[in-house]
Chains A and B, each alone.
Chain A
């Protein structure tokens, strides 16, 4: 029997491509947000509503889905650059898929890029895409225990949007339990309560984007 020590990171290839993506995005001063949630938490609807406040010349979207280009069509329909990645069964985006999508975007014009990841709170968290930050979207319809069921994505996120806040009373969503779960998995995580339906919380979310982009890229996104 002989043993050879190799000490290789299993995701070494993904991490290298992610680093290339990050350099490309930084060179272009494109502030990039990776949006993560379970299916149906409202990523696409929130994006549509958010984009209405932003400039189509300087904002683009990469949509990740297992099947169909419906989400990219929804974004294009309101006049924004959108590229669809279809993972054909894959449960997450990876850096190589994002690199290909970046090739078909006009980055020099783009100050702000949203990447809507595949709806899944486990797998996408393992793959660096080259983004500046991760934003996790929880929604009141999913119950209050998502943070303790999927601690990793809540730990790695820079912001949590609690969407569908318009339904909070109908659903008996227990806000105190939700915040105490956030407290135990990532005490410093900022949470913005938001509704893609009524527009509640939209201004806080827009200012968070502006501020974080300024801190990251030293330029105003739009």
Chain B
């Protein structure tokens, strides 16, 4: 259940950003989470909803975009979709890979209502 910890960190970062940008009526927090991150989206959502009750983030929700895992082979240079249960290059079988995406844990954008 590290989803609770992640929800707390999201809360703190978003709260700070709202203050910094003097934003009101937050609607959506857009997150990008890599497919290689083992987490349960529903748990993250419900932890977030509980944390924002009676705060200035109340009424907002998380939009989670899962980022596909991709890798580049160090040997043949080709790029491909990564399957973490078969961690080798599908073209030359090399296991020397660079993971290009799939590990993200990011807050990308905040969306607000302008009609206040």
A residues contacting B by CB (< 8 A) are 1-14, 90-92, 94, 122-123, 125-127, 148, 150-152, 155, 184-188
Contacts and interface: CB of A to CB of B under 8 A. Distances in A.
Contacts of B84: 151-152, 155, 185
Nearest to A92: B2
Given A123-B1, A151-B85, A7 B108 contact: yes
30 contacts: A1-B27, A1-B111, A1-B114, A2-B114, A3-B111, A4-B21, A4-B23, A4-B110, A5-B109, A6-B13, A6-B108, A7-B106, A7-B107, A8-B13, A9-B106, A10-B9, A11-B105, A122-B2, A123-B1, A125-B38, A126-B38, A126-B39, A126-B105, A150-B38, A155-B84, A155-B87, A184-B87, A185-B84, A186-B87, A187-B87
Contacts of B105: 9-11, 126
A70 to B, nearest CB: 22
A155 B102 CA distance: 14
A8 B32 CA distance: 10
Interface of B: 1-2, 5-6, 9-10, 12-13, 17, 21, 23, 27, 31, 36-39, 84-88, 95, 105-114
Closest 8 CB pairs of A and B: A123-B2, A187-B95, A10-B105, A151-B84, A8-B107, A4-B110, A5-B109, A8-B13
Contacts of A91: 1-2
B107 A6 contact: yes
Nearest to A15: B105
Contacts of B1: 91, 123
Nearest to B110: A4
A3 B111 CA distance: 4
A90 B114 contact: no
Given A126-B37, A187-B95, 16 more contacts: A2-B111, A3-B109, A4-B21, A6-B17, A6-B108, A8-B17, A8-B107, A10-B9, A11-B6, A12-B13, A92-B5, A126-B38, A152-B38, A155-B84, A184-B85, A187-B87
Nearest to B31: A10
A189 to B, nearest CB: 10
